[in-house]
Structure 1
Amino acid sequence: MPIPTLHLIDSTRLAVELGYTLIIVFICLLIYLKTKEIYDLTNHKGIYYFRNTFLFFGLAYLFRFIFMSFLLTKITFDVYHPFGLFMIFSLVLSGYCSTMAILSLTYSTIRKKLPLKNFTLTSNVIAIFISVVALVSRLPFFLMLSQAVLLIFTVSYLLYNKSWKISQLFILYFMLFLFWILDLFALGSMKHLQFEITIVLQILSIAVIGIIYYKVVKWIR
Structure 2
Amino acid sequence: MDVFVVEVVFCAIVFILSFLIYYRLRETYKLTEYKGLHYFSSTFLFLGLAYFLRFLVLILLYDQSDFGSIWDPRSLMVFSIAFMIYSSSASILYLIYSLAWKWSEVFRNEALLHSLAIIFAVISIIHRPISIFSIQIALLAILSVVIVLNYRSHEGDRKTVVGKVYPLYILLFLFWIFNLLLPFRVVSFDFRIGIYALSVAVLCIIGYKVLRKL
TM-score of the aligned structures, taking structure 2 as reference length: 0.86
Deviation at 1:194, TM superposition (A): 2.8
Q: For 1:79 and 1:28, how far apart are their aligned partners in 2? A: 28
Aligned to 1:196: 190
Deviation at 1:165, TM superposition (A): 9.5
Aligned to 2:119: 129
Deviation at 1:105, TM superposition (A): 1.0
The answer as to whether partners of 2:96 and 2:146 remain within 8 angstroms in 1 is: yes
The answer as to whether partners of 2:99 and 2:147 remain within 8 angstroms in 1 is: no
Please tell me whether residue 174 in structure 1 is matched to residue 170 in structure 2.
yes
Name which of 180, 186, 190 aligns with 1:184.
180
Q: Unaligned stretches of 5+ in structure 2?
A: none
The answer as to whether partners of 2:89 and 2:136 remain within 8 angstroms in 1 is: no
Q: Unaligned stretches of 5+ in structure 1?
A: 1-10
Using the TM superposition, name which of 13-22 and 32-41 deviates more.
32-41
Please tell me whether residue 101 in structure 1 is matched to residue 91 in structure 2.
yes
Using the TM superposition, name which of 143-152 and 83-92 deviates more.
143-152
TM-score of the aligned structures, taking structure 1 as reference length: 0.84
Length, aligned pairs only: 206
Name which of 202, 207, 210 aligns with 2:204.
210
Instruction: Report sequence identity in percent.
Output: 31
Higher relative contact order (CA 8 A, sep 6+): 1
**Deviations for 1:62-98, whole angstroms, at most 9, x for unmatched residues?**
1111222222223xx6752411111110111111111
Deviation at 1:169, TM superposition (A): 3.4
Deviation at 1:116, TM superposition (A): 4.0
Which AA in structure 1 matches 2:89? T
Q: SS at 1:113's partner residue?
A: coil
The answer as to whether partners of 1:15 and 1:72 remain within 8 angstroms in 2 is: no
Q: For 2:167 and 2:107, how far apart are their aligned partners in 1? A: 29
Q: SS at 1:88's partner residue?
A: helix
Aligned to 2:145: 153
Q: For 1:193 and 1:105, how far apart are their aligned partners in 2? A: 28
Q: For 2:41 and 2:170, how far apart are their aligned partners in 1? A: 16
* Residues 1:15 and 1:115: Cα distance change in structure 2 (over 3 Å): same
The answer as to whether partners of 1:159 and 1:165 remain within 8 angstroms in 2 is: no
Which AA in structure 2 matches 1:188? P
Deviation at 1:211, TM superposition (A): 0.5
* Residues 1:152 and 1:164: Cα distance change in structure 2 (over 3 Å): farther
